[in-house]
Amino acid sequence: MKLFDIDFESFRLESFETEKSQIFEELKQLAQLYYLGIEKRRYELYEKSLELVTKKEYASGGYSVFRGYYCPFLYETFAVGGCNRGTLLKRVTKKSKISYEYGYEKDQLILVKEFEDDTPEKPARKECVSAEFIERRGDIEIGVQVPLHRGDMDEVYERIELFTVCQYMGEQPYCKRQILCHKDRPGLKIDTIKRRVEYQKEWVTYQNGKPKKIDYSSYFMWNEVDSITLCFDEHGIPVQYYHGDERDRLYDVTKVNRKYYAQQYGMNDL
């Protein structure tokens, strides 16, 4: 299903840049996605996506990271302390606490449904509160997450929540970017974009199929561009990091965080 009437190749990045001018150009480029009219078609796209789904998977937990179990951002699952990607459910029963439903067209993930978190007032309430529509062309994938509130909250959540752009090398995403807009559409003037969006990106360097280094940067509404580099050992476990260009000031990743990261990705306790 074609979701985005836009040239996917125009979103390709060839390198990881942290200069402000380059970051703002990237922001301006991604801001165009807010003008594709997805929010007006969200329920229509939701129903069409459901018809195309041929396979489903379910996960429990993982609310604190984007897309739950299948979060494409390695740095996010490392940096959000005390949180995890959740667990993929082997089977679903009436007692299962479902957080996410992943819908596939053949082997391509096209729909992610997020369900409302359980609360003491509303235990095990399985209302779908948002959906992410995903389209991949070649090695570039674009996803848009929209709210699905249909009641009094509809006016509040009328806008698109966030866009995600991933570039793949085979099946490994190496360049990932995400833009979140606050209040109304950001406009295409850079001063307006600066005031209304949050932006993060990461660039993963792999060695023998495992991450060797992650370059990560973020920008939050008028703040400075913040960047960090996370270094991995031969097992694909993070061991050191440094900020910006301060390569001579390395910080060790704590043993607790290393063990936590290994557990997140099903590795042995190293």
pLDDT at residue number 76: 80
Asked if residues 148 and 128 have their Cβ atoms less than 8 Å apart, the reply is yes
How much is the pTM? 0.85
The torsion defined by the Cα of 81, 85, 90 and 94, in degrees rounded to 10, comes to 80
Give the pLDDT of residue 187.
Answer: 58
Distant-in-sequence contacts of 229-237, Cβ < 8 A, 24+ apart: 230/75, 230/78, 234/210, 235/210, 235/262, 235/267, 235/270, 236/210, 236/211, 236/265, 236/267, 237/261, 237/262, 237/267, 237/270
**Of the candidates 122, 200, 191, the residue with the CA atom closest to the CA atom of residue 165:** 200
Give the chain's residues under pLDDT 50. 120, 123-124, 151-157
Q: What angle do CA 223, 19, 219 make, to 5 degrees?
A: 30
Residue type, 160: I
User: In whole angstroms, what is the distance from residue 211 CA to residue 186 CA?
Assistant: 34
Per-residue model confidence (pLDDT) at position 260: 67
